[in-house]
Amino acid sequence: MNDTRAPEELRWPAPQAPGAVRGRVSIPGSKSMMSRVLVLTAASHGASSVAAPLLARDSALMVAGLQAMGIRVVTTDDALWMVHPRAPQGPAAVDCGLAGTVMRFLPPLAAVAHGPITFDGDPYARKRPMAPLLRALTALGVSVDAASESLPFTIQGTGRISGGEITIDASSSSQFLSGLLLSAPRYDRGIVLRHQGPPVPSRPHVRMTVDMLRAAGAAVDDSRPNVWEVEPGQLGGRAWHVEPDLSNAAPFLAAALVTGGEVTVPDWPATTSQPGDLLRDLFTQLGGRAVLSHDGLTITGSGSVRGIDADLSEAGELTPVVAAVCALADSPSTLRGIGHLRGHETDRLAALTAELNRLGGDVTETDDGLRIRPRPLHGSVVDTYDDHRMAQAAAVLGLAVPDVVLSDVACTSKTLPQFPQLWTELVGARP
Ligand SMILES: O=C(O)C1=C[C@@H](OP(=O)(O)O)[C@@H](O)[C@H](O)C1
Ligand SMILES: C=C(OP(=O)(O)O)C(=O)O
């Protein structure tokens, strides 16, 4: 992001918990649902409404990208957005920021536009994996101009693509699958999308894509392992309601865990495809108690945290906060199945290792994850790498470790601009 303030001005001292953290925090809308809603409504044939929309950098970038392609998105009412679809059109320029969903979900839609659509993003966005998607679009007959197989690139759409059968390796990001599936109803023959390679991470996110496509009226067959089939057809407009972002609930619930307190997140859905729902199980394994009721999800900490051995491949985005909790546990932890985090907002395995060790921790990177051996930690400036979840992880550490200062907290605006305010309100200031 383009913040011109000096590094010292961006710093944010993380509040230390004055005692057990207790309270309720309402979490705004899910980034993942929001991104899908916007792409599906843009690809529909009638107007749609979006209740409880996420107001954050990633959703603003998605809206701006769609608007650049000629789709009308009315955002004047913060509680209810309207999307009026139109056939996407170039020429247009799309700024992806650092948003994986924008850079992976919009090019497959741009493929059915008339005219060139250029994609670029933040400097680090150019390092995030794109090759499987760009190769897939090329194999589907789309003209893609790219100097390397990453941002920036231009899709030269001719107004339609035939679609059909395609095989990709989605082991570096599930978003390649989701992106192609979301726009596939617009392809003349739909899509038969096969994954071949090491396991696809973030499977709940692919299920979310399938569930939401079906909710929008698409015919999707996901009955064969690693094959997804979407029939061509018109999606109707409809009323959407965005669930709270359960992954963004992680630091708040973790506050209960690491301070022996109790935190409730209201409106936790009874059933959901969000991977953040796995927090109930993870935080129980870590020594907390999880109760899901009509009141929401309540996590109660016992005062001590147990280390875990966990495969986080289904919910890699929870890793930074879970790693922070593990660093405060009373026994070692191993987090596995998350090699693909090297392609997230930053190389999260390297970043977590460097920052936890900077605080005095003992963390090593493995091929596919982290080994965390808790040690007494001390304060320091923690680099947040423009990564909202690194900032959340550092805030959790700051509850228990004096003098933790985030290099920047504004990066939380990617998915939760209210983070600093909600955090301070929940945990209270240092006494
Ligand atoms: O489809 C989505 O909304 C997402 C999928 C996941 O991506 P990866 O499969 O690249 O981990 C996840 O980490 C990201 O935060 C959101
Ligand atoms: C990996 C993440 O984001 P993105 O959608 O940019 O991939 C994330 O939010 O943890």
What's the pLDDT score for residue 3? 72
C-alpha–C-alpha distance, residues 249 and 253, integer Å: 6
pLDDT in tens, 30-39: 999 999 999 9
Type of residue numbered 411: C
CA distances from 257 to 204, 260, 304 (A): 25, 6, 8
Q: Does residue 278 register a pLDDT over 90?
A: yes
pLDDT in tens, 183-211: 999 999 999 999 999 999 999 999 999 99
pLDDT band at 169 (very low <50, low <70, confident <90, very high): very high
Q: Which atom of ligand 1 is nearest to the CA of 343?
A: 10
What does the angle CA 354 – CA 356 – CA 359 come to, to the nearest 5 degrees?
105
**What percent of the chain stands above pLDDT 90?**
96
What does the angle CA 229 – CA 277 – CA 412 come to, to the nearest 5 degrees?
100
Phi-psi region of 52 (alpha: psi -120 to 50; beta: other; left: phi over 0): left
Q: Give the residue, 2 or 157, on which the prediction is more confident.
A: 157
Q: Is the peptide bond before 91 cis (omega within 30 degrees of 0)?
A: yes
Q: Does residue 9 register a pLDDT over 90?
A: no
Identify the structural domains of the chain with CATH numbers, from first to last.
7-28+244-427 (3.65.10.10), 31-241 (3.65.10.10)
**What percent of the chain stands above pLDDT 70?**
99
> Where in the sequence numbering do the catalytic residues fall?
317
CA distances from 396 to 21, 108, 204, 292 (A): 11, 37, 25, 22
Instruction: Compute the mean pLDDT over every residue in the chain, rounded to the nearest whole number.
Output: 97
ipTM strictly over 0.95? yes
CA distances from 332 to 128, 328, 373 (A): 31, 10, 4
C-alpha–C-alpha distance, residues 392 and 379, integer Å: 16
* Ligand number, closest to the Cα atom of 411: 2
What's the pLDDT score for residue 428? 81
**pLDDT average, residue stretch 166-189:** 98
CA distances from 47 to 44, 73, 109, 234 (A): 8, 10, 17, 13
Ligand 2 midpoint to CA 340 (Å): 11
Q: Which atom of ligand 1 is nearest to the CA of 178?
A: 1
Q: Does residue 429 register a pLDDT over 60?
A: no
CB atoms near residue 223 (< 10 Å): 8
Q: Which atom of ligand 2 is nearest to the CA of 99?
A: 6
* pTM beyond 0.80, yes or no: yes
**pLDDT average, residue stretch 28-54:** 97
What's the pLDDT score for residue 2? 59
**Residue identifier of the C-alpha nearest atom 16 of ligand 1:** 32
What's the pLDDT score for residue 350? 98
C-alpha–C-alpha distance, residues 30 and 140, integer Å: 31
pLDDT band at 430 (very low <50, low <70, confident <90, very high): very low
Give, to the nearest 10 degrees, the angle between helix 100-110 and helix 131-139: 10
* Ligand number, closest to the Cα atom of 97: 2
pLDDT band at 431 (very low <50, low <70, confident <90, very high): very low
pLDDT band at 1 (very low <50, low <70, confident <90, very high): low
Task: Summarize the annotated binding site for 3-phosphoshikimate as residue ranges.
Answer: 31-32, 36, 173-175, 202, 317, 344
Pocket-testing residue among 321, 344, 346, ligand 2, by greatest number of atoms within 8 A of Cβ: 344
